[in-house]
Structure 1
Amino acid sequence: MMKKPLAWLQLSVLVAAMTVAAVHSFPLTDKDLESEENMWNLYERWRAVYTVSRDLAEKKSKFEVFKANARYIHEFNKKKDVTYKLGLNKFSDMTSDEFTAKYTGALPEADDDVVDSFNILSTQPLVHGGEDAPLAWDWRDHGAVTRVKDQGKCGSCWAFSVIGSVEGINAIRTGNLLTLSEQQVLDCSSAGDCNGGVTFDAFDLIIQNGTTLDQNGSPPYYPAYVARKEQCRFDPNKPPVIKIDGKHRGNKADEQALKLGVLTQPVSVRIKSNSLEFHHYHEGVFDGPCGPQFDHAVVVVGYGETQDGVHYWIVKNSWNESWGERGYIRMLRDIEDKGGMCGIATYPMYPDMNPPAATFAAYH
């Protein structure tokens, strides 16, 4: 096969880089909103960037939704008293209800109202605790967080939240960051499907049978994620098989306890995400509004503080790197509501893994 010229390869890399940059920051100006023609031009540019492929019969109705969202985003970003910005993204021609039906999926637990008395400090060896806790902590800086992934049009956020927290504790305990398989959890767990799932119940699969590398792992094992539930193809006799030793809920509605928990490991949480602002979050510290009910599962991987003293959580989402701050959202921390912003501190969930020879202290 003839090798492609170096110039062609350089051009391909440049185009790819420009495409990524465009996805992360899609421009929106006053001129785009001046006329119907300009709005159509904006919509066509947006469709080209996000490779939207839909029946042309619904294009007009989708355009009307896009137009309303674009105008709202533009007016919101003119406000001077907000701590975050919105942006056009791949969800911008969807209503909030349509979006929630396709891209969230956290279902309530049967015993949601049970208060777990488990104290993260009672069993986990924290190097920092209480007033000695650092002002900021980010597990991405300590080799315990994999790349941002994409759940696609499948209500499987529950599987991504579970796997994200298991990837974290496994890396902390073993010193080896592995990219594990959401598809295997989706296929093999009875906790849910693309219509939603119960996050806490999904940990049972990894306790009992284990999980393994996804198709992007090295070497690949479980088939790649396809955003639909398929027949379980997991072979527990084919290594590597990663298991956890247990699971527990953290203190309910306690941001200080969540902070100390995040110092121990990435934490699976459920949040209220059904708001136009959350769906179109682009950058900054998100301070609401949130949705009316818990509908989405994510992973808290750290916390921090801005230069002007605004406290925030660092949250890994599963909507691709094109959303938010390259797939992450910073959410306001230490608020009056005990449940935290969008309920983030209400249902913290931790996978347990007994440490091998390496100690937790090595990662702090």
Structure 2
Amino acid sequence: MDMTAMRKPLVLAVALSAILLLAAAAADVDVTVRDSDLESEETMWDLYERWRRVYASSSQDLPSSDMMKSRFEAFKANARQVNEFNKKEGMSYTLGLNKFSDMSYEEFAAKYTGGMPGSIADDRSSAGAVSCKLREKNVPLTWDWRDSRAVTPVKDQGPCGSCWAFSVVGAVESINKIRTGILLTLSEQQVLDCSGAGDCVFGYPKDAFNHIVNTGVSLDSRGKPPYYPPYEAQKKQCRFDLEKPPFVKIDGICFAQSGDETALKLAVLSQPVSVIIQISDRFHSYHGGVFDGPCGTETKDNHVVLVVGYGVTTDNIKYWIVKNSWGEGWGESGYIRMKRDITDKNGICGITTWAMYPVKKYIVAHDDADVAAY
């Protein structure tokens, strides 16, 4: 018997066991910030070491001494902010350490945001292929498209400002499920590579939607069957082939009325909606609860996310349910609840100012091929 062949499964099993043990150990590490952690450089370093046991792979695998010092300084500032904020009384949300905690806010925003609205001259009223008017009737108190299994799992854009592609693809995945009954995982990488809507610095959601109107979007390699190569967090040469379906198309796009939370609510009741928001350092450390600001005001901090529902807490705080693209380890398993019905007509973080959603006709689909061919 070939002993080498026998050893391979054993080696793989041992390696897998080691990985699982390390993951389990990391999951047990407490990275909650306490006053005792901030008492000295030594205690802060101990906290940083615990944090690195959980998040080092999201930061730097083998940083240089200068880089380590820079990361540690950023980590200390973020840890102090988290600790001080969570001591405040009457807050509707909490902050926490996450995989971004050894990055300065400026570095973080440069890598993980990148949404751009279109030109002011854009004719919003004619953007859709069919009527965009929504009627207000039988509006429920709460709504969540996840309950209808019309939302794919949270994805991770990585250190690439491709949030615009993830929000657009998420909206198309959802409307395709609503119209066909089948939830498919579609390719952000194809939209990043082929749409001409942007790159890892910034992108235009409207142009990405128009690409899917005119060309379509492939199934992601994580889907069934594999078609477009997996997401790489960088723009590559387009590998899309119109002669090789399957791919999903939409019929047009619509805009919700800007500066009107009721209009956004009606749109979300119809389907998940892509929105551009302006984030802040508190947003990047968000851990849970209903986020009520403050928000950024700089256009460079624009971030594109997907509103999948709305709700209200037991103490009557109204909120939007927002799907992000920073992985399930951020926020509430990759989601954030953002305060709804505020005095600013533009909504929290400007959530109503540039809200859009795809239009797709109803079709009867019997399998994946039927869905993709339309």
Same fold (TM over 0.5): yes
Where structure 1 has 5 or more consecutive residues not aligned to the other structure, the ranges are: 359-364
1:116/1:251 contact within 8 Å kept: no
Among residues 104, 120, 135, which one is paired with 2:113 in the alignment?
A: 104
Flag the 1:19–1:170 CA change in 2: closer, same or farther, 3 A.
farther
Structure 1 stretches of at least 4 aligned residues deviating more than 2 Å after TM superposition: 1-22, 113-120, 122-126, 129-132
Alpha carbon RMSD of aligned pairs, Å?
A: 2.5
Match of 1:77 in 2: 86
Q: 1:6 deviation in Å?
A: 9.6
1:47 matched to 2:56? The reply is no
Alignment of 1:146-295 (within 5 A): 146-273=152-279, 275-294=280-299, 295=302
State whether residues 84 and 282 of structure 1, in contact with CA within 8 Å, keep that contact through their aligned partners in structure 2: yes
Question: What is the distance in 1 between the residues matched to 2:92 and 2:28?
Answer: 23
User: Unaligned 5+ residue runs, structure 2?
Assistant: 1-5, 366-374
* 1:324 is aligned to 2:331: yes
Alpha carbons of structure 1 residues 119 and 239: separation in structure 2 relative to 1, 3 Å:
closer
Q: Which residue of 2 aligns with 1:60?
A: 69
The reply on whether 1:26 has 2:31 as its aligned counterpart is: yes
Does residue 298 of the first structure (1) align with residue 309 of the second (2)? no
- Structure 1's 182 and 78: CA in aligned 2 closer, same or farther, altered over 3 A? same
Q: Is contact 1:91–1:99 with CA below 8 Å preserved after alignment?
A: yes
User: In the alignment, residue 292 of structure 1 is paired with which amino acid?
Assistant: T
Mapped partners of 2:154, 2:115: distance in 1:
18
Q: Tell me the CA shift for residue 115 of structure 1.
A: 7.3
> Helix, strand or coil: the match of 1:307?
coil
1:347 aligns with 2:333: no
Amino acid corresponding to residue 281 of structure 2 in structure 1: L
Identity between Structure 1 and Structure 2 (%): 58
Instruction: Give the partner amino acid of 2:76.
Output: K
SS at match of 2:247: coil
The total of aligned residue pairs comes to 351
Shift of 1:107: 1.7
Cα 1:236–1:21 shift into 2, 3 Å = farther
Distance 1:176 1:325, change over 3 A: same
**1:29–1:137: structure 2 CA closer, same or farther, 3 Å change rule?**
same
Structure 2 CA distance, aligned partners of 1:311 and 1:131? 19
* Structure 1 position 352, deviation (Å): 0.7
Report the Cα offset of residue 213 of structure 1.
1.1
Give 1:136's aligned amino acid.
T
Counterpart of 2:254 in 1: which secondary structure?
strand
Note the C-alpha offset of 1:12: 6.1
The separation in 2 between residues aligned to 1:190 and 1:114, in whole angstroms, is 18
The 3 A distance-change label for structure 1 pair 82 and 258 is same
* Aligned partner of 1:308 among 302, 306, 315: 315
SS of the equivalent of 1:179 reads coil
SS class of match (2:161): coil
